């Protein structure tokens, strides 16, 4: 009997992970003492609504603004991006940072 190759790893749903990322971002912002409006100003956003969209778990921090977002929240950009990757693309994060040679 032919064996089926399983390509899909069992990972939590993308929606749930985005929500966790949002909660983490909200905690970081609170620790940095910033409101959503103040963070949006630091990110040069016209409206602060995108910050809420991301923190509510419906959107992602775009790759191109991860550095600014991380710095605004008082985090080193690569550590910030790595943590976000664990939520946004857990399989890539596992391959890059968890699988040993």
- Residue ranges binding other proteins (CB under 8 A): 13-15, 18, 35-37, 45-54, 56, 58-60, 62, 65
Output the smallest distance, CB 63 to other proteins, in A.
Answer: 10
Output the smallest distance, CB 17 to other proteins, in A.
Answer: 10
Whole-angstrom distance, CA of residue 86 vs CA of residue 19: 13
Whole-angstrom distance, CA of residue 29 vs CA of residue 14: 22
Closest CA to 83 of 11, 31, 23: 23
Output the smallest distance, CB 57 to other proteins, in A.
Answer: 9
- CA distances 63 to 3, 33, 88, Å, are 38, 24, 11
* CB-nearer residue toward other proteins: 14 or 95: 14
* CB-nearer residue toward other proteins: 3 or 32: 32
* CB-nearer residue toward other proteins: 55 or 80: 55
55 half-sphere exposure, CB direction, 13 A CA radius: 17
């Amino acid at each position: 009997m032919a064996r089926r190759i399983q390509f899909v790893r069992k990972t939590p749903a993308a929606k749930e992970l985005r929500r966790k990322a949002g909660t983490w971002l909200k905690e970081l912002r609170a620790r940095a003492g910033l409101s959503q409006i103040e963070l949006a100003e630091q990110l040069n956003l016209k409206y602060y609504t995108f910050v809420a969209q991301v923190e509510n778990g419906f959107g992602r921090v775009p790759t191109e603004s991860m550095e600014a977002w991380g710095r605004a929240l008082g985090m080193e950009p690569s550590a910030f991006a790595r943590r976000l990757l664990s939520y946004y693309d857990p399989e890539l994060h596992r391959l890059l940072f968890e699988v040993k040679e």
